[in-house]
Structure 1
């Protein structure tokens, strides 16, 4: 994705060993979807990638 969005929606399926996070835009198109290890550095990296997608991120767990 080359253009930063105004807003996106991020959902996280939290688990013990790993998490799954996905981000969609206003049309419901998936912009980002990844397995994230339950490790602080992996989580912080994923958060940085997600926050870089849009000016405003709406979160759901």
Structure 2
């Protein structure tokens, strides 16, 4: 009886540990997705700045 209780406690502890590991993995995936989103936004802003700079250069050339 006591052995069964110990085995049950160990099984519950292992299950909790598995849930914690899964939560950590999900958190890592979320962090990676957030990083990818930030990098994508930075890329878009960079392209917008380059386009704006090109337009400004073209305006300067046209004025001359």
Q: Judge same fold: TM > 0.5, yes or no.
A: no
User: TM-score under structure 2 normalisation?
Assistant: 0.25
More strand per residue: 1
Instruction: Please report the TM-score for the alignment, with normalisation by the length of structure 1.
Output: 0.26
Higher relative contact order (CA 8 A, sep 6+): 1
- The structure with the largest helix share of the pair is 2
